Amino acid sequence: MATSSERSPPPFPESEDQDVLDSEEVGGRDSDEDDGEDLFTSASEPPHTSMDPLLSPDIQSGQVSTKPPADENDPLIEPLTGQTGSKPVSELVSEPSDDFVDLTNNITDSPEDLTEAKSAVAAEAGDSTEFRVDEPTDEFEDIFGSETEELGGEVVIADVTVEAAADKSEVTSGSTDDSGEEKSGSDAEQEAKETPTATVIDLSADLSAAETKLPPGSEKIFDPLGDLFSDAPPAAGAKKTSTTTVDLSDDEGSDLFTQPLQTKPAKQPQRSLFEEPDEDLFGEPLGAASKKTVGKEQKDKSETTKAARAGSNVGGPLHENKPVEPTDIFTEEAVATAPSTRNTAKPKTNGVLSEEEPDIFAEATVELSLDSPRNERKTDVTAKPSAAPGPSVAPGPSASVSAPVSASAAKSLSKPQSAALEELEEESEEQVDKFDIQVSVKDPEKIGDGMTAYMAYKVTTETSLLMFRNQTFSVKRRFSDFLGLYEKLSEKHAPNGFIVPPPPEKSILGMTKVKVGKEDSSSADFVERRRGALERYLQRVVTHPSLLQDPDVREFLEREDLPRAVSTQALSGAGFLKMITKATDAVSKMTIKMNESDVWFEEKLQEVEAADQHFRKLHALVESLVVHRKELSLHTASFAKSTAMLGSAEDNTALSRALSQLAEVEDKIEQLHQDQAANDTFRFAELIADYIRLLGAVRGSFDHRMKSWQRWQDAQAALQKKREVEAKLLWANKPDKLQLAKEEIVEWEGKVTQYERDFERVSATVRKEVIRFEKEKTKNFKQQIIQYLECLLKSQQQLIKYWEAFLPEAKAIA
Amino acid sequence: MMEEDKEVKPSLSVHGHNIKVTEVLRDGDTLTFLIVSQKLSGTGEYHVHRTHSDFEWLQQHLFSQEDVPGIQGVIFPPLPAKVQMNASAKVMKQLGFLGLGEWQLYCKALETFLQQVASHTILSPNRAVEIFLTSTDPPGRQRVKKNIFNRLSQAVEEMRKEGHKDVDEFFQTERDHNLALSGYTRTAAERFLDVVLTEQKIAVACGHFSAALHLCVEHGEDPEKQAFSKTCVKLSEVFDCMKKNMTNVAEKDANSLGLGLDLRSRCLDAEKEMLFRRTCKLVELENATRNAEKAKPLKKAAMEEVKKAAETEFNHISGVAKDEIVRFQRERVKMLQQALVQWCEKQLHTAKETAEQFDQHLQAFRGMA
């Protein structure tokens, strides 16, 4: 949802809620179907002509009326293949569910991809089209036909793009104006675009549905699916091309998303997704596509990796489902000439497919029958939404991932990776133990002598995640490496509103003691505390779905020799704390200026600050408790000693023996007290210290949100100024300068939108992160408390044993 | 002694073992203790109010029973040091265990003192004891400021006699033993006091932690918040339970072994004083013997007289002291054994109780998760 909100900040700020998004998505799909139907209906006739042989007859009548979207997709795909010479179609086919995304992606890359795709698709299209014809609904065919026809009439690529744009605009409805403006070039084109986009969307949806359904169904289904896929890719390609063309024309390059979709339309669809089910589907795919493209452009590593993962995951399920037609996936890949586009598209598509697949398996398998593609599709669609949120189906994770990815992609044009990660996180949260990864920090070891000495730790990772090369591996890391990792992560993710778990502070005092080589208990205690803190820090990083995806994290865990972190010196000790306080100060200062639009954030910030205070107090209390416990253990030890002395001086043998027994008991009890002190320390004191640090990070994320807001406000102010200048120039009648001013205004308008979107995105991320943080907090505390109680219980039982052993001794004194 | 016993047959009108110090009243700077004792005659109890000065009066009277031969050989039951309200921390520290709590332990110590006096065969016949326990009016407040038992003077004047070689092997051994034992016992009592004090501190810290946890409770509809708040409240209960148990442990520690060690330590001191008094007498006797030998014939008779008197007194003292020491050793072991058994049982009980409570809390937490 964050993504959607980000994208659509101006028009639909409300759409931020993730939950809403999920529901909306479902609804959106339905709506998409409807839109698709309309589009299809409008377009349907022409496609029929193209598609006619196979699909048209059966599908047309039924499909249109019942469930145009599903049908439409299929038909669309088919027509596309047929029409465009199957270039775009093939691409579309490959990424049915994600078609939109792909399309957008493709669009960006489109020209090249399309051509390639077309060629590739064309080959496949022939086969696929036939199959598809049977499976896909008539409507799809019609739509495709119409689209294809249109395309055929005009330049294929151009038409497609136009159509796609038009569709988008239509879908968004409100956005049409923007799109119109952007595409001001030709109204006719816009209209055309509208229909195509809608169709495309439908197609994609349908395709995905069809695909998903198909796998469970039967080999036949597979074939059709394959066909669909093949068809779809072309369609996608076509769409892509269209979008790309649009983008090219409208956008200046960097703003691919906004431009291709026509900023407004794109935003609207996303929002609509969240808000309105019907529009949502279309909007989402579009947005996703745009996002993906953006991401590609930005060349986010994480995205690619994610995509790869998603792809692999998806690929697994897909293959299983549709063994007959591995071609689908392959086709997609093959079709997409541009690797970057492919990657992005793949993950998304994969995700979509996977989502659909689960649904299909569950519900649609039986329904797959060719006759009622609409029904199936509908069910699929409905099922999909439900399935997507729930990881229940095996492919679920990937599917869910894909869905969030698309959303995230839409949100964060600039930072698609993070958005995708977020989505991943969300999904992962539901599957609690999805992250099967355990990181342990062990064997602290002093390396070197004197003041250049440092502690090295063995970081061992155990995981079943495929992203890692091995299941278990370990590396040597020194403390500054941990800090370096944090530096990198916070630099990358903190500005997006992520809560990056902070590592323990540098402690000059503690480390100096260790360096000097005093083997006393306090330095051992220090090392152990730090080791534990580092372990918990890493574990937090690794269980954070977004951060786990970060290449730096993987490098940290896997790479044998890490380049030495240099800049951590500045972070040492008090400096780190100071930084946090500074950040919080800045926040409080800015709060005064910021007139908070969202009550939630206001309340949360207060809560966080209150919690910070409480935790600090708790920490002080636990620390004093620990001090007392240690004292008790010391005193018990000396009491044991004096008891032993007393026993040795006692002339009554029974009493003397009892006393020395008592001394032994007291010695054991001393150990118990010591353990209890450690228990207090590590279960509570350290936990609370962690959370104090984490709360600092939470405040930091609020701070980043504030900064983002500030930037937006500044941009608005600047825009206002430019407008005033323009008015003045108008008054002064200086046309040459006026032109410049107008350009500037346009530029600043773009910036304002951009910043506002950024702000919305960051806000959504922060919100999500805070919720996650709180969830984790509760879980963490509960867990620790249980362990703590277990410890307490054990020590009490031990105590009972000791006393029971001693009682007869005491009684034996006579 | 035997004659004395017979003479004072109707020695006390109360049961020596049932004397209780049940209440302590604060009256300005002084503490007034309510002493309850059961009448021997059957039903009925004596209720008397006594201040610490009254106790001191009683002790002085016991000390100064010049008519009892060998009185100096008696190990006088130790009277707890006088306490003052608003006493400085240092004074309270010297009180040791007796300074803990709301004077209950102090009352206990006084009670033990009275019981020991009342059941002491040599001391109980004294009129002062009867008056102290039964007379409604406070006993005469006249002070016997100066006497030979003044500790300060003893410390200053007679310290050098401490190391005087004894003529009797039994006493020599007992003296050495007493010296070692009293030192160790005092140390042990101090250490144990530290333990108890720390336990109390832990209890307080647990209480604070428990209270602070309540601050973390957030109100709101958010289920996540509620879950966390619930966790906090639960944990607060756990710590409250820990606090109670720790308080319990500390209290029982002080009540059983703490008091036992304290009493033992003071009794050993009393024994030491007695032994010291005997040593003084011994020195006096030796001096007298030497003087008698060296004395010129003129004074010889007088010297012999003095020597004889000293010898008689010394023998009396030694006789009484021997009995007392044997009795004391028996009692001392019994005292400590009682304390240990009591302590151990209480520890066991508390530990079991605590374990049960922890177990319940643990189950509750598991149920929550």
Can you tell me the ipTM of this complex?
A: 0.83
**CA atoms within a 13 Å half-sphere pointing along the CA-CB vector of B209:** 30
Task: Kindly report, residue by residue over B262-287, the tens digit of the pLDDT.
Answer: 888 888 888 888 888 888 888 888 88
What's at A668, amino acid-wise?
Answer: K
Task: Kindly report, residue by residue over B148-163, the tens digit of the pLDDT.
Answer: 445 545 555 555 566 6
Degrees, nearest 5: CA angle B204-B207-B212: 130
- Structure-block tokens of residue A261: 């979709």
Nearest to A796 among B329, B358, B365 (CB): B358
| Cα–Cα separations (whole angstroms), residue B272 to A20, A44, A572, B146, B147 | 87, 117, 62, 21, 18
Task: Give the whole-angstrom CA distance, residue A144 versus residue A210.
Answer: 15
Please identify among residues 296-325 of chain A the ones whose CB lies closer than 8 Å to any CB of chain B: none
- Structure-block tokens of residue A175: 């956005």
- A662 touches B: beta carbon within 8 Å: yes
The CA-based dihedral angle spanning residues A223, A226, A227, A229, taken in that order and rounded to the nearest 10 degrees: 160
Chain A interface test: which of B257, B344, B354, B361 (most A C-beta within 10 Å): B344
Q: Compute the count of residue pairs across chains A and B with CB atoms less than 8 Å apart.
A: 148
Please compute the mean of the pLDDT values over residues A446-473 and round it to a whole number. Answer: 78
Nearest to A786 among B180, B340, B369 (CB): B369
Tell me which chain A residue has its CA closest to the CA of residue B265: A646
Assign A22 a pLDDT band (cuts: 50, 70, 90): very low
Chain B interface test: which of A616, A621, A667, A773 (most B C-beta within 10 Å): A621
Contact between A341 and A106 under an 8 Å Cβ cutoff? The reply is: yes
Taking CB atoms and an 8 Å limit, are B192 and A639 in contact across chains? yes
DSSP assignment of A758-772 equals HHHHHHHHHHHHHHH
Res A78: pLDDT = 41
User: Is the pLDDT higher at A175 or at A797?
Assistant: A797
Please compute the mean of the pLDDT values over residues B133-143 and round it to a whole number. Answer: 66
Distance from CA of B102 to the nearest CA of A (A): 23
Assign B85 a pLDDT band (cuts: 50, 70, 90): low
Chain B interface test: which of A635, A641, A661 (most B C-beta within 10 Å): A635
- Residue A480 in this model has a pLDDT that exceeds 50: yes
Nearest to A614 among B216, B235, B344 (CB): B216
How much helix, strand and coil, in percent to the nearest 5, is found in chain B? 70, 5, 20
Taking CB atoms and an 8 Å limit, are A611 and B358 in contact across chains? no
Task: Kindly report, residue by residue over A518-547, the tens digit of the pLDDT.
Answer: 566 677 778 888 888 888 888 888 888 778
Contacting residues of B for A621, CB less than 8 Å apart: 205, 208-209, 212
| Cα–Cα separations (whole angstroms), residue A319 to A126, A206, A324, A336, A362 | 22, 19, 8, 19, 17
Task: Give the whole-angstrom CA distance, residue A764 versus residue A730.
Answer: 40
| Cα–Cα separations (whole angstroms), residue B161 to A94, A238, A634, A745 | 110, 117, 39, 108
What's at A97, amino acid-wise?
Answer: S
Please compute the mean of the pLDDT values over residues A573-582 and round it to a whole number. Answer: 50
Dihedral angle sign, alpha carbons of residues A764, A765, A766, A772: positive
Assign A2 a pLDDT band (cuts: 50, 70, 90): very low
**Least reliable range by pLDDT among A343-352, A776-785, B345-354:** A343-352
Strand A454-463 to strand A437-447: parallel, antiparallel, or no bridges (unpaired)?
A: antiparallel
Taking CB atoms and an 8 Å limit, are A782 and B209 in contact across chains? no
Taking CB atoms and an 8 Å limit, are A792 and B242 in contact across chains? yes
Contacting residues of B for A632, CB less than 8 Å apart: 195, 198-199, 202
φ, ψ of residue B164 to 5 degrees: the values are -65, 135
Contacting residues of A for B209, CB less than 8 Å apart: 618, 621-622, 625
Taking CB atoms and an 8 Å limit, are A638 and B191 in contact across chains? yes
Please compute the mean of the pLDDT values over residues A195-217 and round it to a whole number. Answer: 40
Please compute the mean of the pLDDT values over residues A222-228 and round it to a whole number. Answer: 39
Task: Kindly report, residue by residue over A653-678, the tens digit of the pLDDT.
Answer: 888 888 888 899 889 988 888 888 88
Contact between A17 and A437 under an 8 Å Cβ cutoff? The reply is: no
Cα B34 to chain centroid, rounded: 18
Nearest to B195 among A621, A635, A658 (CB): A635
Please compute the mean of the pLDDT values over residues A609-623 and round it to a whole number. Answer: 86
φ, ψ of residue B172 to 5 degrees: the values are -60, -45
Taking CB atoms and an 8 Å limit, are A642 and B199 in contact across chains? no
Distance from CA of B84 to the nearest CA of A (A): 28
**Least reliable range by pLDDT among A174-178, A473-477, B47-51:** A174-178
Distance from CA of B182 to the nearest CA of A (A): 9
Contacting residues of B for A789, CB less than 8 Å apart: 238, 358, 361-362, 365
Contact between B365 and B233 under an 8 Å Cβ cutoff? The reply is: no
Please identify among residues 144-183 of chain A the ones whose CB lies closer than 8 Å to any CB of chain B: none
Distance from CA of A543 to the nearest CA of B (A): 19
Res A518: pLDDT = 59
Res A514: pLDDT = 66
Taking CB atoms and an 8 Å limit, are B242 and A814 in contact across chains? no
Please compute the mean of the pLDDT values over residues A290-296 and round it to a whole number. Answer: 38
**Least reliable range by pLDDT among A63-77, A576-590, B90-104:** A63-77
Contacting residues of A for B340, CB less than 8 Å apart: 658, 662, 810, 813
Res A393: pLDDT = 35
3-class secondary-structure state, position A814: coil
Please compute the mean of the pLDDT values over residues A297-309 and round it to a whole number. Answer: 39
User: Is the pLDDT higher at A416 or at B152?
Assistant: B152
Task: Kindly report, residue by residue over A341-390, the tens digit of the pLDDT.
Answer: 333 333 333 333 333 333 333 333 333 333 333 443 443 333 333 333 33
- A771 touches B: beta carbon within 8 Å: yes
- Residue A623 in this model has a pLDDT that exceeds 70: yes
Dihedral angle sign, alpha carbons of residues A334, A337, A339, A345: negative
Distance from CA of A392 to the nearest CA of B (A): 22
Sorted by sequence, the CB contacts under 8 Å of residue A779 that are 6+ apart come out as none
A211-227: b or e for each residue (b if 16 or more CB lie within 10 Å)? bbbbbbbeebbbbbbbb
Contacting residues of A for B212, CB less than 8 Å apart: 614, 617-618, 621
Distance from CA of B239 to the nearest CA of A (A): 10
Contacting residues of B for A639, CB less than 8 Å apart: 188, 191-192, 194-195
How buried is residue B7: exposed, middle or buried, by Cβ count under 10 Å (0-12/13-18/19+)? Answer: exposed
Q: How many residues does chain B have?
A: 369
Taking CB atoms and an 8 Å limit, are B228 and A774 in contact across chains? yes
Tell me which chain A residue has its CA closest to the CA of residue B340: A810
Q: What is the CA radius of gyration of chain A?
A: 32
Contacting residues of A for B208, CB less than 8 Å apart: 621, 624
- A805 touches B: beta carbon within 8 Å: no
Distance from CA of B62 to the nearest CA of A (A): 30
